[in-house]
Amino acid sequence: MDIGVVFQCDPPAKAVVELSRKAEEAGFSHVWTFDSHLLWQEPFVIYSAILAATSRVMVGPMVTNPGTRDWTVIASQFATLNEMYGNRTVCGIGRGDSALRTIGAKPGTIAEMKECVEVVRELACGRSVTYRGKELKFTWAEGGALEVWVAAYGPKALEATGQVGDGYILQLADPDIAAWMIAAVRRAAEEAGRDPEAITFCVAAPAYVGDDLAHQRDQTRWFGGMVGNHVADIVERYGSTGAVPAALTAYIEGRKGYDYAEHGRAGNPHTSFVPDEVVDRFCILGPVENHLARLKELADIGVDQFAVYLQHDSKEDTLAAYGERIIPYV
């Protein structure tokens, strides 16, 4: 199993670059960042510095969206980085949440996301696409390569992932939910005539190594709030019909709004509805043996990469613990 890491683009950007360099030294395979330009700094600018400071890690957003940039601009950004640094980028994409809602826009449609996946991938790989009625190609992008991994929770988004995604990103580390989601993506891929085994499955969640579980829960409770915000629309649409796992939806009954000013931040006051049990299931906390045991569970159900969200007060210690005591054993 690959182990990646996810950062927020908090200033100073040089600190994100330095953490990325340390992640590569520790053995992490991927460096991801959030992409929400009002809440954090612009990631594509920072990616160039990360790639220049490293030689091996894959770099990309977890996740970008079809709404904040023209699709040809997204493709050009990836193709340019790949030309400069040798095909070391990966595109995580979803319908859009904080990046769009904070500017007064709604998430894009699943149809838009599917089309965007194909336009961005084809252009970045130097192939021709039809976009807005025109045949387009980057003549300078010969030899480019880009995989596009789709983030999804709801039934239609999971179906779309199986139809067009090179990978699937699930933002929570509960093995039962992950198994359900992976099965849905694989089923959709088979129905679309694609090889489900060719899809990379990535689970992303906060990880915190240590013994003070109460403190770790307080530092990562924000994640349950973020996940709840993502699935709230799905619950409103599907209710308790079984279209999504009950374990994913039941806890958000106590949710009372969401403040994007606290999005993805430890201490978010709008996550008090998230119980300890959900924090423990969605995140990986506690001593090293807890992490190794959960990662084995995830690997056994087909997860290819675990991406560590490092948004808490022990970033460097957790980075080092994974490099020294976890990555060599997974």
Per-residue pLDDT tens digits for 108-147 = 999 999 999 999 999 999 999 999 999 999 999 999 999 9
Read off φ and ψ for residue 73, nearest 5 degrees.
Answer: -70, -45
DSSP 10: P
Q: Which pLDDT score, from 0 to 100, does residue 186 have?
A: 98
Residue 239: its pLDDT value, please? 67
User: Rounded CA gap, 270 and 46, in Å?
Assistant: 30
Buried b (16+ CB within 10 A) or exposed e, 106-138: ebbebebbbbbbbbbbbbbbbeebebeeeebeb
- 165-185 per-position pLDDT tens digit: 999 999 999 999 999 999 999
Q: What are the φ/ψ torsions at residue 161 (nearest 5 degrees)?
A: -60, -45
Please indicate whether residue 56 or residue 237 has the higher confidence score (pLDDT): 56
β-pairing, 129-131 vs 134-136, is: antiparallel
Q: How far apart are the first and last CA of the chain?
A: 6
Q: What is the pTM of this model?
A: 0.91
- Res. 258: pLDDT tops 60: no
**How many angstroms separate the Cα of 85 from the Cα of each of 25, 55, 76, 81, 262?**
18, 8, 14, 6, 34
Q: How far is residue 257's CA from residue 295's CA, in Å, rounded to a whole number?
A: 32
- Cis bond leading into 196, ω under 30°? no
pLDDT score, position 329 = 97
pLDDT category at 268 given cuts 50, 70, 90 is low
Per-residue pLDDT band at 1 (split at 50, 70, 90): very high
Per-residue burial over 165-188, b = 16 or more CB atoms within 10 Å of its CB, e = otherwise: bbbbbbbbbbbebbbbbbebbbeb
In the predicted model, is pLDDT for residue 50 greater than 90?
A: yes
Give the model's pLDDT for residue 267.
59
The pLDDT of residue 244: 74
Please count the residues of the chain: 330
Q: Judge whether 309 and 206 are in contact, CB under 8 Å.
A: yes
Model confidence at 303, pLDDT cuts 50, 70, 90, reads very high
